[in-house]
């Protein structure tokens, strides 16, 4: 069948639609013809739907995080206006957490719940052959006005059996263009998922709803085969591992490090997400020797009381030790921070301010505590009735660069929370940018971005006046720079 896979894009950062690429690879293996439709930011749902339907697909699949859901639903509605008979499937994080809410919409025919590779392949086979939908596990559908959910499909135990993401379906250089690893300049990057699942219990994360609490690992050889293929096909020189916690199994990491040092992979820079309680001086030294240039740590707060509320299961001392060891190893350390946790006080925020002052991360991002469905934080926010919009406006939630207003406020007014976040951001902003000027090549590349994104300066200054955040300027410059890179294609 001709299967259109759609990414309702609500942010302009060039993230690979990795989930769709995995689905595409699984469906191509079944013999289907696949096309990825990644929405342009300035195209309307109606125009986008016409573009999709001109390709004449026989089934349409949309991926959806919570921030993407409203936009995805608009696209699906426009598709149904053009062809009411075409099956529309929703998968991804939001449908997996809220399947009944999603399937209840008139423009949605099926929801896929959980890891989608096998489920979507089975669903397409069933639709094509007119089979019994009850035999397809982990889907929701409607029959005679009733919502029906089938038995759950087990998680994929052997991740090596999943085909590599179908990156050949991405033609634009925009997906690979720098800057990609925060604070580190590389030429061309891919994102890789080397494991699935997370054993930790952070109250704001819903990863476990799809991938579970048990960590399943791809074999190091399988991971390296994917990277080698991408190096051959796309001339990549860097990799970002999107695993929830890459360093949860030290022996596995050590094997990966040894493989990275082999001749055919030498010179590739890479970065990953880690936890401060999982890194030792010894493993950091090995990671550095293998090409690791940055670790992303969830610092979250400088208050132990707030960390306990978040169920982060780390201590402030572990954070300090991890940052010290990482810097001693010669690896950049990124800090992710949350402000607005229920129960947090201004004194707690000032502890975070002081901790960042002491840690001196090479790069820092400050996020509002955001209650996504499927998380304990969402339950707490509902219990406290503290959402700033009721009902919640999902399409005002951003995955990466967030909107300028928090979704909820607890213990602070909305304006107080905005000011506290701006205070933290403005403290670290200069260090964020100084990391881009580490060598002559990086300096030249920064000026290249400024040259291509010059028209964004005006909007950036306007946004800065409104928000008080210096970062607003760079966000708009990068927006225009990325528009320019979309004219460059891989052949």
Instruction: Kindly state which CATH superfamily the domain 184-436 is placed in.
Output: Aldolase class I (3.20.20.70)
Residue 355 · residue 428 · CB < 8 Å: no
Q: Is the pLDDT of residue 392 over 60?
A: no
The dihedral of CA 335, 94, 246, 238: what is its sign? negative
Condensed to tens digits (0 to 9), the pLDDT of residues 468-488 reads: 677 777 777 877 777 777 666
A 10 A CB-CB count for 16 gives: 20
Task: Give the per-residue pLDDT at 480.
Answer: 75
Q: Taking Cα atoms as reference points, which of 235, 268, 185 lies closest to residue 490?
A: 235
Domain ranges across the chain: 2-149, 184-436, 439-491
Rounded to a whole number of angstroms, the distance between the first and last alpha carbons of the chain is: 25
Is there a contact between 423 and 353 (Cβ–Cβ < 8 Å)? yes
pLDDT tens column, 348-386:
999 999 999 999 999 899 999 988 899 999 999 888 887
In 178-219, which ranges are continuous DSSP H helix? 208-211
Q: Would you place residue 2 in the very low, low, confident or very high pLDDT band (cuts 50, 70, 90)? A: very high
Per-residue pLDDT, averaged over 232-247, amounts to 93
Cα 352 to Cα 51, 193, 357, 360, distances in angstroms: 48, 31, 8, 12
What's the chain's average pLDDT?
A: 89
pLDDT tens-digit series, residues 418-455: 899 989 988 888 777 776 666 666 677 777 777 777 77
pLDDT digits (tens, 9 = 90+) for 168-210: 998 777 787 766 677 677 888 899 999 999 999 999 998 988 9
pLDDT score for 398: 45
CATH class (in words) of the domain with range 2-149: alpha beta
pLDDT recorded at residue 437: 62
Confidence (pLDDT) at 491 = 44
pLDDT of residue 404: 65
Reported as a pLDDT band with limits 50, 70 and 90, residue 266 is confident
State the pTM of this model: 0.90
Evaluate whether 154 touches 216 at the Cβ level (below 8 Å): no
18-22, 113-117, 412-416: the lowest-pLDDT one: 412-416
Give the closest residue to 340 by CA, choosing from 366, 319, 360, 359: 366
Q: Give the separation between CA 23 and CA 415, rounded to whole angstroms.
A: 42
Element of type H or E holding 472: helix 471-485
Beta bridge mates, 112? 139
Whole-angstrom CA distances from 276 to 200, 312, 403 are: 13, 11, 28
Burial status of residue 297 (CB atoms within 10 A of its CB: 0-12, 13-18, 19 or more): buried
- In angstroms, the CA 279 to CA 247 distance is 7
Whether a cis peptide bond, with omega within 30° of 0, leads into 75 is no
Long-range contacts of 402-405 (CB under 8 A, 24+ apart): 402/367, 402/368, 402/370, 404/463, 404/466, 404/467, 404/469
User: For the chain, what is the radius of gyration of the CA atoms?
Assistant: 22
Do residues 399 and 457 lie in contact, with contact meaning Cβ atoms separated by under 8 Å?
Answer: no
Q: Which region, left, alpha or beta, applies to residue 181 given φ > 0 means left and ψ of -120 to 50 means alpha?
A: beta
Question: What percentage of the chain has pLDDT greater than the value 90?
Answer: 66
Name the packing angle between helices 346-359 and 414-434 (round to 10°).
Answer: 0
């Amino acid at each position: 069948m001709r299967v259109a896979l759609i990414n309702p894009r609500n942010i302009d950062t060039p993230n690979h639609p990795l989930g769709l690429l995995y689905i595409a690879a699984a469906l191509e293996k079944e013999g289907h013809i696949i096309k990825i439709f990644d929405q342009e930011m300035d195209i309307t749902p109606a125009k986008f739907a016409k573009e999709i339907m001109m390709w004449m697909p026989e089934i349409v699949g949309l991926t959806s995080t919570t921030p993407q859901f409203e936009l995805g639903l608009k696209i699906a509605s426009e598709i149904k206006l053009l062809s009411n008979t075409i099956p529309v499937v929703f998968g991804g994080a939001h449908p997996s957490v809220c399947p009944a809410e999603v399937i209840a919409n008139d423009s949605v025919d099926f929801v896929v719940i959980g890891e989608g590779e096998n489920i979507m392949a089975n669903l397409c086979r069933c639709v094509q052959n007119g089979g019994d939908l009850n035999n397809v596990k982990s889907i929701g559908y409607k029959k005679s006005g009733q919502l029906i959910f089938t038995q759950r499909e087990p998680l994929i135990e052997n991740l090596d059996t999943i085909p590599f993401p179908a990156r050949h379906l991405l033609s634009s250089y925009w997906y690979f263009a720098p800057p990609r690893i925060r604070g580190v300049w590389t030429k061309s990057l891919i994102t890789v998922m080397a494991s699935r699942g997370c054993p930790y219990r952070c109250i704001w994360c819903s990863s476990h709803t799809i991938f579970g609490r048990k960590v399943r690992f791809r074999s190091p050889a399988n991971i390296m085969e994917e990277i080698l293929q991408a190096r051959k096909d796309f001339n990549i020189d860097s990799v970002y591992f999107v695993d929830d916690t890459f360093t949860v199994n030290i022996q596995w990491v050590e094997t990966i490090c040894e493989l990275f040092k082999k001749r055919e992979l030498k010179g590739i820079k890479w970065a990953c997400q880690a936890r401060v309680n999982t890194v030792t001086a010894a493993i950091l030294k090995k990671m550095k020797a293998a090409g690791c240039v940055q670790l992303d740590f969830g610092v979250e707060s400088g208050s132990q009381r707030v960390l306990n509320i978040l169920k982060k299961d780390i201590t402030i001392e572990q954070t300090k030790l991890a940052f010290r060891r990482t810097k001693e190893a010669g690896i950049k350390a990124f800090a992710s921070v949350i402000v607005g946790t229920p129960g947090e006080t201004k004194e707690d925020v000032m502890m975070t301010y002081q901790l960042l002052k002491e840690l001196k991360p090479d790069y820092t991002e400050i996020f509002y505590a955001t209650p996504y469905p499927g998380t304990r934080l969402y339950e707490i926010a509902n219990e406290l009735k503290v959402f700033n919009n009721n009902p919640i406006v999902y399409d005002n939630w951003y995955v990466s660069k967030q909107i300028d207003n928090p979704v909820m406020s607890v213990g602070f007014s909305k304006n107080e929370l905005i000011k506290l976040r701006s205070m933290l951001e403005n403290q670290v902003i200069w260090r964020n940018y100084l990391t881009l000027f580490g060598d002559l090549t990086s300096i030249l590349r920064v000026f290249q971005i400024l040259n291509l994104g010059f028209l964004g300066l005006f909007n950036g200054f306007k946004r800065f006046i409104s928000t008080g955040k210096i970062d607003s300027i760079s966000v708009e410059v990068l927006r225009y720079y990325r528009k320019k890179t979309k004219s460059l294609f891989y052949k």
